[in-house]
């Protein structure tokens, strides 16, 4: 029996309590493909959109990893933790009095609203100790669990949008009180730790804080509404296995299991839940090339374009600059990814197309 080729982007709604690697591990079992990678790790306590690249589509991970991401976070004030989320150990606290909370409510929570408004813009962020960032080959979280704290270099990030979605304020006399929390929608650049934003918000206001709930809702062109739950995939896998069992086949048998995995993948593909590389890379500007130009790139030959050519062949129209990354499209669609390199002494300016990845070998997007 011929093996079904599995290639594409699967969007999964990661549940709370499972690591991103745990999602990948389960998917390998469900669809029978070892070559799987995800874009952008989610903390175990976090939920939401995990874009999974399957098969040769893993070539897109390095590009999708650069996308901006959107999160919804609930920030609980009154307690800071070492992990900056609800799973950590208390490191600082602030006891809200009913009078303090009532006064904040009466004035419309102006300090909180101003602090959220001030979040946006370019800034430097120090990665938390409980993170997967590696220092001399060691992940920071491993050092943190061993009781070590080391100096970390701040990283440039951008908070594009910070929206205050709601405030939950309850005095001691109200159910669940005293409590002060807020819900935020944050659109951020690659490498931004939302937990750090929650912690710093608490520090700035003098109340201490941590991330109580975190949901990723968007990665580049993909939205959480497009995702399938891991439970739904597992339930469907079991249904397909049971149907074959009813026909006298043993789902524990390797060939039968492969049949179930292929059927599940086919259903996902036919229902539009497997997304193409073209869609996955639609967040980059397109540079449209002729068939001959694409063949030059495929064969490793130099291709240069002047500024006017790039302006007319790009969509949306982009102003050429050194290092600008583009999705390279031929007459039949996506051919690869590359960036511009300024050619010296060009009048008018010329740019070499530096290919970073060619996709047409496995997507057959170029006619022979």
- Whether residue 95 sits in one domain with residue 46: no
290 and 273 in a single domain? The answer is no
Confidence of residue 130 (pLDDT cuts 50, 70, 90): confident
Position 361 scores a pLDDT of 59
In-domain check, residue 247? yes
- Domain holding 140, by residue range, is 69-219
In a domain? residue 337: yes
Same domain for 148 and 173, yes or no, is yes
- Mapping DSSP to helix (H, G, I), strand (E, B) and coil, where does residue 97 land? coil
Instruction: Evaluate whether residue 2 is within a structural domain.
Output: no
16 and 130 together in one domain: no
Provide the token pair at 213. 């709930």
Instruction: Give ∠ CA 86-232-12 in degrees, rounded to 5.
Output: 55
Is 100 in the same domain as 207? yes
Mean pLDDT, residues 331-346 taken together: 90
**Domain check: are 155 and 246 in the same one?**
no
| pLDDT (0 to 100) of residue 1 | 44
Which of 105-109, 122-126, 164-168, 169-173 is the least confident region? 169-173
Q: Is residue 316 part of a domain?
A: yes
Q: Using 50, 70 and 90 to split pLDDT, how confident is the model at 134?
A: confident
Q: What is the pTM of this model?
A: 0.91
CATH of the domain at 111: 3.30.2350.10
pLDDT at 2: 52
Q: Are 190 and 293 in a shared domain?
A: no
As for how many domains the chain has, the answer is 3
Domain boundary among 260, 277, 294: 277
Instruction: Give how far Cα 219 sits from Cα of 52, 117, 164, 192, 283, Å.
Output: 11, 23, 20, 13, 10
Residues 238 and 130 grouped into a single domain = no
Instruction: With beta carbons less than 8 A apart as the criterion, state whether 4 and 259 touch.
Output: no
Catalytic positions:
43
In a domain, 251, yes or no: yes
* 75 shares a domain with 207: yes
Note whether 102 and 188 are same-domain residues. Answer: yes
Q: Is residue 345 part of a domain?
A: yes
Residues 208 and 236 in one domain: no
Give domain status of residue 1, yes or no. no
Domain stop point among 195, 219, 243: 219
58-106 residue pLDDT tens: 999 999 999 999 999 999 999 999 999 999 999 999 999 999 999 999 9
Specify whether 155 is located in the same domain as 260. Answer: no
Burial tier of 275 (Cβ tally within 10 Å: 0-12, 13-18, 19+): buried
Query: Which helix (H) or strand (E) element contains residue 309?
Result: helix 307-313
pLDDT in tens, 225-239: 999 999 999 999 999
């Amino acid at each position: 029996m011929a093996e079904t080729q599995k290639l594409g982007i699967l969007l999964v709604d990661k549940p709370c309590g499972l690591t991103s690697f745990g999602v990948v591990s389960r998917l390998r079992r469900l669809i029978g493909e070892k070559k799987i990678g995800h874009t952008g790790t989610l903390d175990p306590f976090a939920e939401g959109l995990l874009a999974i690249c399957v098969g040769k589509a893993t070539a897109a991970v390095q590009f999708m990893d650069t996308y901006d991401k959107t999160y919804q976070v609930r920030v609980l004030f009154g307690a800071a933790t070492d992990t900056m989320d609800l799973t950590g150990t208390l490191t600082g606290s602030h006891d809200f009095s009913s009078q303090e909370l009532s006064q904040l409510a009466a004035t419309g929570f102006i300090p909180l609203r101003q602090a959220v408004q001030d979040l946006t813009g370019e800034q430097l962020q120090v990665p938390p100790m409980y993170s997967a960032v590696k220092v001399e080959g060691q992940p920071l979280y491993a050092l943190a669990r061993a009781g070590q704290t080391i100096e970390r270099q701040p990283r440039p990030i951008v908070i594009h949008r910070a929206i205050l979605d709601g405030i939950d304020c309850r005095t001691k006399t109200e159910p669940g009180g005293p409590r002060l929390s807020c819900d935020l929608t944050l659109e951020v650049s690659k490498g931004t730790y939302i937990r750090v934003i929650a912690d710093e918000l608490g520090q700035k206001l003098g109340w201490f804080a941590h991330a109580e709930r975190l949901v990723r809702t968007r990665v580049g062109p993909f939205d959480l509404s497009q995702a399938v739950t891991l439970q739904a995939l597992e339930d469907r896998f079991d249904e397909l296995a049971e149907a074959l069992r009813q026909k006298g086949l043993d789902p524990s048998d390797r060939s039968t299991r492969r049949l179930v995995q292929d059927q599940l993948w086919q259903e996902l593909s036919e229902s539009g839940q497997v997304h193409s590389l073209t869609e996955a890379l639609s967040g980059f500007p397109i540079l449209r090339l002729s068939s001959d130009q694409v063949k030059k790139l495929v064969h490793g030959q130099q291709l240069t374009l002047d500024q006017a050519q790039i302006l007319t062949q790009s969509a949306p129209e982009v102003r050429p600059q050194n290092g600008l990354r583009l999705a390279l499209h031929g007459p039949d669609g996506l051919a690869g990814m590359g960036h511009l390199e300024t050619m010296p002494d060009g009048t008018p300016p010329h740019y070499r197309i530096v290919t970073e990845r060619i996709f047409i070998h496995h997507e057959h997007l170029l006619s022979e």
